[in-house]
């Protein structure tokens, strides 16, 4: 439901986005007479910002069918609450409507979840480590490196990555295995956590790492 509302809003704003882009060029193009109007640069910047906020960014197709973990400890999570009284003060109204155990959006995708193998937890905050048994599970399994995947980059991925770093794990975030509703916060947060806390890599790097791990542990 959240994405349907988001896409509807984006479709309604699409004409305004294109109008803002065209008008911004009128105030910024060197051959346009409007370039010399007082405050023209501010007009152009404001219109360009509106266009960037409302434009549709390309999203990758993951096409995930199955995931083979080759004996690697896996922890998966969802975020769900019994009712609104149990929730923290989420600022997004749609979250308060969908993050309930009774809502289908809180169900785990069976293509990426093996109930017979994975540790599954229901978290109450952005990070998978917050008030869950995941850190204890990783200690038992002698984990020293954590690979963080999922969404949203600016929320749960960032929160989990920071906690993983704070718990002294080497942390990998494959940039083609995480995502956000908008491209700009996705890129900004990857750049920031990559500078400070984690190794931002790609899927190929993680697959090579896991294969190397499997070879070492099969001897």
Q: DSSP class of residue 111? A: G
Question: Under CATH, which architecture does the 75-217 domain have?
Answer: 3-Layer(aba) Sandwich (3.40)
Q: Where in the chain is the domain with CATH 3.40.50.850?
A: 75-217
Catalytic residues: 156
What distance lies between CA 95 and its chain's CA centroid? Answer: 15
Reported as a pLDDT band with limits 50, 70 and 90, residue 205 is very high
Question: Under a CB-based contact definition with an 8 Å cutoff, are residues 191 and 199 in contact?
Answer: no
Percent of the chain scoring above 70 in pLDDT: 85
Three-class DSSP category at 139 = helix
Reported as a pLDDT band with limits 50, 70 and 90, residue 3 is low
Residue 44: CB atoms within 10 A of its CB come to 20
Q: Is the pTM of this model over 0.75?
A: no
Q: Is the pLDDT of residue 2 over 70?
A: no
Q: Which helix (H) or strand (E) holds 121?
A: strand 119-123
Question: What whole-number distance in Å separates Cα of residue 206 and Cα of residue 65?
Answer: 18
Question: Under a CB-based contact definition with an 8 Å cutoff, are residues 18 and 52 in contact?
Answer: no
Structure confidence by residue, pLDDT tens digits, 35-67 = 777 877 777 777 776 666 666 655 555 555 555
């Amino acid at each position: 439901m959240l994405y349907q509302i988001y896409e509807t809003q984006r479709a309604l704003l699409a004409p305004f986005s294109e109008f803002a882009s065209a008008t911004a060029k009128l105030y910024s193009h060197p051959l346009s007479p409007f370039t010399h109007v007082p405050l023209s640069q501010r007009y152009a910047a404001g219109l360009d910002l509106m266009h960037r906020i409302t434009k549709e960014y390309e999203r990758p197709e993951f096409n995930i069918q199955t995931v083979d973990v080759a004996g690697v400890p896996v922890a998966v999570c969802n975020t769900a609450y019994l009712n609104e009284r149990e929730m923290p003060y989420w600022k997004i109204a749609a979250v308060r409507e969908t993050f309930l155990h009774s809502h289908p959006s809180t169900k785990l995708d069976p293509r990426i979840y093996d109930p017979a193998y994975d540790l599954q937890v229901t978290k109450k905050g952005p990070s998978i480590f917050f008030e869950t048994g995941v850190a204890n599970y990783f200690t038992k399994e002698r984990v020293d490196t954590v690979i963080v995947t999922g969404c949203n980059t600016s929320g749960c991925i960032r929160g989990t990555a920071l906690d993983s770093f704070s718990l002294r794990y080497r942390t990998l975030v494959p940039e083609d295995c995480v995502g956000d509703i908008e491209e700009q916060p996705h890129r900004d947060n990857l750049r920031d956590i990559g500078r400070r806390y984690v190794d931002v890599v790609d899927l190929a790097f993680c697959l090579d790492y896991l294969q190397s791990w499997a070879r070492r542990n099969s001897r």
